[in-house]
Amino acid sequence: MICARCGRENDADARFCSGCGARLQSGPSREERKVVTILFADIVGSTARAEQLDPEDVRAALSRYYGIVRAELERHGGTVEKFIGDAVMAVYGAPTAHEDDPERAVRAGFAIRDALAESDVDVRIAVHTGEALVSLDARPEDGESMVAGDVVNTAARLQSAAPVNGVIVGEATYRATQQVIEFRALESVAGKGKAQPIVAWEAVAPRARFGMDVDQSEQTRLVGRNEELDVLRAALVRARREHATQLVTLVGVPGIGKTRLVTELMSLVDDDPDLIWWRQCRCLPYGEGTSFWALSEMIKAQAGVLETDTAERAEAKLRTAVSALIREPGELEWVLGHVRPLLGLPGHTGERPERFAAWRRLIEALALQRPLVLVFEDLHWADDGMLDFVDYLAEWAGPVPLLLICSARPELLERRPGWGGGKRNATTVSLAPLSDDDVGRLIARLLEQAVLPVDTQRELLRRAGGNPLYAEQYVRMLQEGRDPRDALPENVQGIIAARLDTLPPEEKALLQDAAVVGKVFWLGIVGAIGGSERWTTEERLHSLERREFVRRERRASIGAEAEYAFRHVLVRDVAYNQIPRSVRARKHRAAADWIDSLGSERAEDRSELLAHHYGAALELTRSAGLPDGDLPALTKKALFEAGERSWALGAAETACERFKAALELTDQSDPAWPRLLRAYGSALSRTQETGEEELATASAALLAAGDLEGMAQAERDLGDLLWGQGRVA
């Protein structure tokens, strides 16, 4: 059995690794590398008081505070990992990542501070974000630790420097949340055992938010999306002219521009001389809103009900609003009775069909007054009841000018494959990535600069992959003077990691295996790496395709193997980075063995692939301090072949690098050494006009080995080199 932590082979019945002592587990690895946010909260100022108190009283008092702290941590989605002295440590982002873990942690910090403000204890809080190794099976409630990594030590370090009743954060947390939280710069914190001081900020307060969304006021001009906007515009025209309900669903991955399209339509509606009602609401991630939350937000907005209103005020406002729409007293009471529960007020508890009918009646009444646009954002997070209602509304709403716009991620279609289908008045618009030209224009506008260095531009386009949100985040990175090649913007990493965590574990594992292969991969190879049956693999890939993580390619570059590609290269990168390094080595090896087993069937760039995977396996194995077995020999052979292929194709520079890498793995006693040295010398002579020594040594060695043809080649290239340098006439 192989240890998931260190990669050592153990006896099949071993329960603990003989190398590192970790508990061994059969089945897939249950460890993952993740970007997590750590929060430390230390209750201070209790020492002086504690000296005068009975120890049991101290404990009783403290446990009450810890109860408050724990409740706030968990309310924001954190997991309490452990208590260290007076400090509590919590983790955000593990075992399951959310898009906004750093923000949640900072907000939890504020909540704890506020909850203890009246008490006689002080608290010091630190939040820090970074990569950690996460044990997915750990049970923190039993004292098992879930995360390990420098991020924990740094967070602890920061905590000791936190201002009293303040929240201190590190650089990565600051960057991930600066759009939503206000910060003040602090002096850097000297880290124990750290070369560099830790850059620190004090979180002051959350910034006000426009609705639930990031402020859309500072937008660059829209690029592309003309056809999509036309669909929305046409649906509005039809709804108004024909008095027929229209349903348009915008489907696409996060950041692709769904909300933006809705905003564009809204500004068209604003410019319209006629008055049009516009009601917009957004569904929240599962488990965080109540049923029909989005709908109740809409009704509250229509009636002008505020969160702070008392029940009586809310009731009065609701009654005024609804009676302005529905005159007939019996009907008014019936509608009110069914709408009240949406606002948390007592009302009818009828069957669902009746409730739906009453809500529909209200919406129809609204649309009869003026054309009505209802926007349901992020519908993939809606509860089933909410989905049923939107569907029902599209089907049943009477002849009124009503336009329903929904935005959703592809997961919605996974949940409701028939969404919108079979209705004459429904359209689903799938938002494809923007073209590179459009993204280029977007980048230029964001940077207020027409031309970037070609390399930078190409790199940005590749990473953005047609996603405007990613493009924006990379531009920001560039503006902050960071190199886009170094890291993923925090928000982008968060969005992708959270999406990966919505997958069933076996599909996520498959994506990780595929990520080892690269942006492009084949059905057979992921099956071989993960050890699953062909049809199971196929089924999982199909599901991943529907969720728009991968795409099946029409042509296949390896024989008859079905070929797939990640839709976005960053998804590949995040999935790959989640695999513990020790496990990566094994997976690269399995990938290489599969390619090797194909024989010469795949002539194209087989040796390149082999060189890459054997090479990666070798490097990872060595850096883990494990025996490398036959990996050096296999890597060397593949590198040599890859070099020869590059050479034959005229890519002399690449060939030169490959030969050099192969030579570094080859002993002088190896029979292949003289030929390899000759090849390297020739490549050097061609690319850098050097290699005299290599060619001369190779020539002698080839002669000694009896390879006269090889020797002749070496001599010829040596002659050419010297001729070129003008040293022989």
Q: Which residues bind Mg ion (CB under 5 A)?
A: 258-259
Per partner kind, with CB cut-offs from 5 to 8 A, the member of Mg ion, ligand ADP, none near residue 224 is ligand ADP
- Residue 219 or 668: which CB sits closer to ligand ADP? 219
- Distance of alpha carbon 668 from the chain centroid: 47
Q: In 10 A of CB 599, how many CB atoms?
A: 9
Ranges within 592-651 binding ligand ADP (CB under 6 A) = none
Measured from the CB of residue 284, what is the shortest distance to ligand ADP in angstroms? 14
Specify the residue, 13 or 227, whose C-beta has the smaller distance to ligand ADP: 227
Identify the residue among 179, 219, 267, 435 touching ligand ADP (CB under 6 A): 219
User: How far is 541 from 531, CA to CA, in rounded Å?
Assistant: 15
Q: Among 257-265, 266-274, 618-626, 658-666, which window interacts with ligand ADP (CB under 6 A)?
A: 257-265
76 contact, one of Mg ion, ligand ADP, none, CB 5-8 Å limit per kind: none
Q: How far is the CB of 223 from ligand ADP (least distance, A)?
A: 4
CB closer to ligand ADP, 331 vs 438: 438
Q: Rounded CA gap, 257 and 179, in Å? A: 19
Residue nearest to ligand ADP (CB): 257
**What minimum distance in Å lies between the beta carbon of 436 and ligand ADP?**
13
3-state secondary structure 161-211: CCCCCCEEEEHHHHHHHCCCEEEEECCCECCCCCCCCECEEEEEEECCCEC
Between 329-339 and 311-323, two packed helices, what is the crossing angle to 10 degrees? 140
Query: Contact 1/26 with Cβ under 8 angstroms?
Result: yes
Amino acid code (one letter) for 385 = G
Q: Which does 337 bind (CB under 5 to 8 A by kind): ligand ADP, Mg ion, none?
A: none
Q: Pick between residue 109 and residue 468 the one whose CB is nearest to ligand ADP.
A: 468
Joined together, the tokens standing for residue 83 give 């208590």
Q: 350 to each of 393, 396, 655, 683, how far by Cα in Å?
A: 18, 19, 76, 83
Tell me, what amino acid is at 156?
A
DSSP 217: S
**Which residue from 78, 166, 255, 530 is in contact with ligand ADP, where contact means CB under 6 A?**
255
Q: Are 289 and 283 in contact (CB under 8 A)?
A: yes
Give the integer Cα–Cα distance in Å for 73 and 91.
9
From Mg ion, ligand ADP, none, interface partner of 97 (C-beta below 5 to 8 A by class): none
Q: Are 167 and 113 within 8 A, CB to CB?
A: yes
Q: Kindly tell me which residue out of 225, 361, 463, 589 binds ligand ADP, with binding defined by CB under 6 A.
A: 225
Is 223 a binder of ligand ADP (CB under 6 A)?
yes
Query: How many Cα atoms within 13 Å fall on the side-chain side of residue 378?
Result: 14
Binding partner at 442 among ligand ADP, Mg ion, none, C-beta below 5 to 8 Å by kind: ligand ADP
Q: How far is it, in rounded angstroms, from Cα 280 to Cα 262?
A: 10
Q: Which is nearer to Mg ion, 147 or 253 (CB)?
A: 253
Report, in Å, the least distance between residue 219 CB and ligand ADP: 5
Read off φ and ψ for residue 122, nearest 5 degrees. Answer: -110, 160
Q: Rounded to the nearest 10 degrees, how much is the dihedral formed by the CA atoms of 271, 272, 278, 283?
A: -60
- 245 touches, from ligand ADP, Mg ion, none (C-beta below 5 to 8 Å by class): none
> Judged by CB under 6 A, which stretch of 50-58, 256-264, 290-298, 362-370 contacts ligand ADP?
256-264
Task: Report the candidate in 244, 258, 536, 213 with the shortest Cα–Cα distance to residue 412.
Answer: 258
Task: Kindly tell me which of 167 and 496 has the beta carbon lying closer to Mg ion.
Answer: 496
Work out how close the CB of 687 gets to Mg ion at its nearest, in angstroms, rounded to a whole number: 50
Nearest residue (CB) to Mg ion, 258 versus 340: 258
Which residues within the stretch 461-490 sit at the binding site for ligand ADP (CB under 6 A)? 468-469, 472
The distance of closest approach from Cβ of residue 470 to Mg ion in the complex, given in angstroms and rounded to an integer, is 14
Give the total of residues touching ligand ADP (CB under 6 A): 18
Specify the residue, 7 or 224, whose C-beta has the smaller distance to ligand ADP. Answer: 224
Q: Crossing angle, helix 468-479 and helix 436-447, to 10 degrees?
A: 40
What are the two backbone dihedrals, phi and then psi, of residue 643, each rounded to the nearest 5 degrees?
-60, -45
Residue whose Cβ sits closest to Mg ion:
259
Interface with ligand ADP (CB under 6 A), residue from 93, 224, 433, 466: 224
CB nearer to Mg ion: pick between 259 and 607:
259
Q: Which residue, among 135, 26, 40, has the nearest Cα to 82 in the 3D structure?
A: 40
> With b meaning 16 or more CB within 10 Å and e meaning fewer, what string describes 634-653?
bbbbbbbbbbbbbbeeeebe
- Residue 225: which of ligand ADP, Mg ion, none does it interact with, CB under 5 to 8 A by kind? ligand ADP
Residue range at the interface with ligand ADP (CB under 6 A); choices 10-18, 255-263, 447-455, 668-676: 255-263
Positions touching ligand ADP (CB under 6 A) are 219-220, 222-225, 252, 254-260, 442, 468-469, 472
